[in-house]
Amino acid sequence: MPKLFLGKNPLRWLMTTLRTKGPLRAVKVMWHAALDASWDFFHGTETLTRIAPQNLETDSENKSQATYYGATRARPLVQLFHQLGLSREGGFVDFGSGKGRVILIAADYGFKKVVGIDFSEPLCQQARTNLEAYRRRRKLTSEVIIVHSDVVRYAIKADETTFFLYDPFSAEVLAKVLENLRASLIAHPRRIQVIYNSPRYHEVMERSGVFTGNRHFVIGGNEFCVYENEGDHVRA
């Protein structure tokens, strides 16, 4: 099947997109999908091919909590970074980083430190290969770290202020990640932002007590919710 459709049945994908998003958004989604089909070509990477949860190679006990691996569309994310005016001084963390497209975009944006976390070693290895290829074509100044770990075991650092996730796991795992984030904020109060692509578990984010507000964006047919805090409102 054409990679333009991210490994999906093209006709079914088109009909579902038209039904759920309407003609205008469907056209935007298809345009950005076409751009994504060329993104790997121009950067010498392989990030696009989807992987079903049952085919993810991992020994994590949370494998059953995973969703499909799929790459975030590049241009909408770049536009979002610039719309938000994100500070490049803090660390950026992608929970469920897969083949690494988002961490490459974050490094290109210029975050001081970029961390990708994934529970699949083969996906982490592909991300490292993609990083090497990307560096041959783009000048990156960011420190980029790819961590093979279950996200619930990752110790969030005091200098990490921007977080990203593309619907990578269940509400149960998300709640554990948010508890870890809450603990980090209690230990090291600071302002943070969490960018959630396709925010299926918005209620879990809202109930966490970590955030004081959120903003909703639709860019190129891609839906993002950005959750923010005030820096010192979290209490033990």
pLDDT for the residue numbered 2: 37
List, as one string, the DSSP characters of 15-54. Answer: HHHHHHHHHHHHHHHHHHHHHHHHHHHHHT------B-GG
Mean pLDDT computed over 81-92? 94
Contact 116, 146 (CB under 8 A): yes
Residue 222 domain flag: yes
Residue 73 domain flag: yes
Residue 200 domain flag: yes
Mean pLDDT computed over 147-161? 96
pLDDT for the residue numbered 62: 75
Residue 38 domain flag: no
Q: Give the CATH number, domain containing residue 163.
A: 3.40.50.150
pLDDT, one tens digit per residue, over 99-130 is 999 999 999 999 999 999 999 999 999 999 99
Residue 25 domain flag: no
- Report the alpha-carbon distance of residue 175 to residue 178 in Å, rounded: 5
pLDDT, one tens digit per residue, over 193-209 is 999 999 999 999 999 99
Residue 72 domain flag: yes
pTM: 0.85
Residue 217 domain flag: yes
pLDDT for the residue numbered 4: 40
For the cut 70, the answer to whether the pLDDT of residue 152 exceeds it is yes
- Per-residue buried b or exposed e for 149-177, using 16+ beta carbons within 10 Å of the residue's own CB: ebbbebebeeebbbbbbbbbbbeebbebb
Residues spanned by the domain of 67: 63-228
Number of domains in the chain: 1
pLDDT for the residue numbered 9: 52
